Amino acid sequence: MGYDNKARIKSSIKAIIFVGVIYGIMKILMLPQINIINPFYQTIIMKIFIEITLALGLNLITGITGQFSLGHAGFMSIGAYTAAFIMLRTTVNVGMIFAATLAGGIVAGLVGLLIGIPTLRLKGDYLAIATLGLGEIIRILLQTTSKDFLGGAAGLSSIPIFANFEGVFFVAVICFFSISNLMKSSYGRALISVREDEIASEAMGVNVTNMKLLAFIMGTFFAGVAGAMYAGYVGFVQPKDFGFMKSIEILMIVVLGGLGNIRGTVIAAIVLNIIGVILQDFSEIRMILYALLLIIIMVIKSGETPWIQKLRAAMNIKSFKFNGKNKAGT
Amino acid sequence: MKVLNAEHISMIFGGLIAVNDVTIYANRGELLGLIGPNGAGKTTIFNMLTGVYVPTHGKISFENARNNQLTINKVKPYKVARFGVSRTFQNIRLFKELTVLENMLVSMHKNIGYSIFGAIFRTNGFLKTEQEFYESAIKILEATGLDTKKDELASNLPYGEQRKLEIARAIATGAEIVFLDEPAAGMNPAETAELAVLIKRLKEDYKLTVVLIEHDMRFVMNLCERIYVLDFGVLIAEGTPHEIKNDPKVIKAYLGEELQ
């Protein structure tokens, strides 16, 4: 195990170089003279980074800690509305953009804390239904607000476009490294222990409630930050953008990438968005394909028939299970 | 000196009296046995002692080496664990997707010496704590003979070693009292004998007080210094292995009579 200082510095330098190279390559490809990444592709890449941030947050809650949440879009909307609300009332400068994004994350995290305290007592299906309901409540509350405050059903429009490529890129990078470093610490192990066996975890002195709340607050914080970036990227927000289907879309990225698999989430977000772009002329088929993909993944990951088991072994895929559910009771 | 004192504890589930007015205690460094037929309430007592269940009646208190007292009445299990009381489970409850070493490290999370930000930014406090955790986990793993398998997933261990890892994990919490719920269940006679030696050695090395539930009578009679016998939630006998063996009530309820 690399707990010595040298290994730490080495891995940090490696990570910084890696991020720098990716950023550099994309920047070069974006140059008007080269124009491989044209403005159209650039918007897609920005969308991918926003979804990576969202999905990483949900992966922390659902994949790593095992708390099945279906309300992630609700927290995203809180961040989006908070940032939009601030940006519509101030001048656009780097400081304000930073403040608005952070405020989006903090407000979403606070709401996550408030909602988490009562709902995280629930397990498995019940938690999923509760978070689904809460996500919808947030959306409907936003819909019923007055026109001058949060825009009601029409939402907020003509928000200054404050999220640029750098913004969404570094938000995703910060999110990725925060979560992956957390995973390599004692907190990460404690979070996984909660997923694996709550009763044993508590018996070993882990404060299970606090761990669940930690995951929930961090996950919703990043959802809020991603929401803020989303508001600054499209320029308008309306409640119907943050419905149940949005939560499902984020969950799909997490499940496709593998529950608890951070790198997988990044790859899945890229793959799903590319599929989305290819199929954008047939938007109805896109959702059918999404649903089909989800069914296929579920079958491959949890199927018990011999050929599926063989396929799983051949592709080196871990069997999939919802941990909150299969270990209930003492 | 009593490290565990449970006075007149009862547990009533709806109309069922699972444990009825049981009084047990443990002296420091003792190795106690808790035996009785299935459904006698042994595991229920363990669950009460570790805070999983709140006793309907009665009082449970612990005392640790620093003479701190803890009376558990609606105290959450993790707080009981942090006081120095740990346990294993009848049906193995390891963190299956974590490695052997990581299972041990989870037990030490309660002594964490860095914040979330320390974890994200990999501060010196983070490195120091991780190093300390690693060293003490390895020490316990060496004592149990699991150190060569530290990087294997817990679910890939053979059954006997999973049981051992559970004991090692309980000790890793820094516990002074360890409750072992059927540690020898499903083991063959050779493994059981080896386990008895291991438990005795760990008890001496880590200055533990051990309370164990077991159905293997040879194991219990050889290992335990004092034995409590439960039947239908009631304590029917208490004493040394020799006394228990010859107690007519115990023979009738649990051990069985010899054929005439």
Q: Out of A145-149, A157-161, A179-183, which region has the weakest mean confidence (pLDDT)?
A: A145-149
Q: Would B138 be classed as within a structural domain? A: yes
Q: Is the Cβ–Cβ distance between B178 and B209 less than 8 Å?
A: yes
Q: Does B120 touch chain A (CB under 8 A)?
A: yes
Contact (CB<8Å) A181/B119: yes
Cα separation, B220 vs B156, in Å, equals 29
The tens digit of pLDDT for each residue in B205-252 reads: 999 999 999 999 889 999 999 999 999 999 999 999 999 988 888 888
**Min Cα separation B254/chain A (Å):** 25
Give how far B102 is from chain A: nearest CA, Å.
7
- Let me know: does A312 contact A319? Beta carbons within 8 Å: yes
The mean pLDDT value for B137-147 works out to 94
Higher per-residue confidence, A297 vs A325 = A297
pLDDT of residue A116: 93
CB contact under 8 A, A205 and B98: no
pLDDT of A4 above 80: no
Answer whether residue B116 shows pLDDT above 80: yes
Q: Which of A60, A189, A210, A217 to mutate to test the interface with B (most CBs of B within 10 A)?
A: A189
Q: Are strands B234-239 and B2-13 parallel, antiparallel or unpaired?
A: unpaired
Split at pLDDT 50, 70, 90, the class of A325 is very low
List C-alpha distances in Å: B44 to A129, A131, B55, B230: 32, 34, 10, 11
**pLDDT value of residue A30:** 87
Among candidates B76, B94, B120 on the partner chain, residue whose Cβ is nearest the Cβ of A181: B120
Total structural domains within chain B: 1
Angle between helices A94-119 and A208-234 (to 10 degrees): 140
Residue B257 three-state SS: coil
A130-134, A179-183, B138-142, B250-254: the lowest-pLDDT one? B250-254
Instruction: Encode pLDDT of A183-234 as tens digits.
Output: 999 999 999 999 999 999 999 999 999 999 999 999 999 999 999 999 999 9
- Asked whether residue B134 is assigned to any structural domain, the reply reads yes
Which pLDDT score is estimated for B259?
64
d(CA A253, CA A62): 12
How far, in Å, CA of A52 to CA of A60, rounded? 12
Q: Which residue has the tokens 């035996």?
A: B35
Element (H, E) at A191: helix A186-196
Diameter of chain A measured on Cα atoms:
65
Rounded to a whole number, what is the distance in Å from the CA of B151 to chain A's nearest CA? 10
Task: Examine residue B140 and state whether it is found in any structural domain, yes or no.
Answer: yes
Q: In angstroms, what separates the C-alpha of B110 from chain A's closest C-alpha?
A: 6
Q: Which pLDDT belongs to residue A74? A: 96
Q: How many CB pairs under 8 A join A and B?
A: 117
How large is the average pLDDT for residues B106-113? 92
Distance CA B54, CA B63 (A): 19
Residues B112, A127, B90: CA angle, nearest 5 degrees: 60
Its domain, for residue B57, covers 2-255
The answer as to whether B260 is a domain residue is: no
**Residue B204 sits in a domain of what CATH number?**
3.40.50.300
How far is Cα A59 from Cα A303, in angstroms, rounded to an integer? 22
Query: What pLDDT is attached to residue A66?
Result: 93
Residue A73 has which token pair? 């879009």
Contact B47, B34 (CB under 8 A): no
pLDDT > 90: percent of chain B: 77
Whether residue A208 and residue B78 make contact (CB cut-off 8 A), yes or no, is yes
Is any Cβ of chain A less than 8 angstroms from the Cβ of B114? Answer: yes
User: Which residues of B are less than 8 Å from A178 in CB distance?
Assistant: 120
Q: Which of A142-156, B3-17, B76-90 is the least confident region?
A: A142-156
CB contact under 8 Å between B97 and A185, yes or no, is no
> Which of B50, B109, B147, B167 to substitute to test the interface with A, most A CBs within 10 Å?
B109
Tell me whether residues B106 and A190 touch, CB distance under 8 A.
yes
**Is the distance from CB of B165 to CB of B172 less than 8 angstroms?**
no
Residue A279 gets which letter from DSSP?
A: T
Q: A195: which chain B residues are within 8 Å (Cβ-Cβ)?
A: 97
pLDDT for position A330: 31
Query: What pLDDT is attached to residue A322?
Result: 44
Sign of CA dihedral A255, A257, A262, A265: negative
Q: pLDDT at position A1, please?
A: 46
Mean pLDDT is highest, among A314-328, B58-72, B166-180, for: B166-180
Q: What is the pLDDT of residue B31?
A: 94
Report the pLDDT value the prediction gives residue A328, as an integer from 0 to 100: 33
**Which residue from A192, A200, A205 is facing B110, i.e. has the nearest CB?**
A205
Contact B76 A202 (CB under 8 A): yes
The ipTM assigned to this model is 0.92
pLDDT of residue A110: 97
The whole-number pLDDT of residue A323 equals 41
* Contact predicate B209/B3, CB 8 Å: yes
Share of chain A above pLDDT 90, in %: 59
User: Using 50, 70 and 90 to split pLDDT, how confident is the model at A38?
Assistant: confident
Q: Is residue B110 part of a domain?
A: yes
Buried b (16+ CB within 10 A) or exposed e, B169-208: bbbbbbbbbbbbbbbbbebeeebbebbbebbeebbeebeb
Q: How confident is the model at residue A313 (pLDDT cuts 50, 70, 90)?
A: confident
- Per-residue model confidence (pLDDT) at position A315: 73
**In this structure, is the dihedral angle defined by the CA atoms of residues B166, B194, B187 and B225, taken in order, positive or negative?**
negative
Where does the pLDDT of residue A324 fall: very low under 50, low under 70, confident under 90, or very high at 90 and above? very low
Give kind and range of the element (H or E) at residue B83.
helix B77-83
Residue in A1, A12, A203 closest to B50 by CB? A203
A228-286 residue pLDDT tens: 999 999 999 999 999 998 998 899 899 888 888 999 999 999 988 888 888 778 777 77
Q: Does B147 touch chain A (CB under 8 A)?
A: no
Q: What's the pLDDT at B258? A: 66
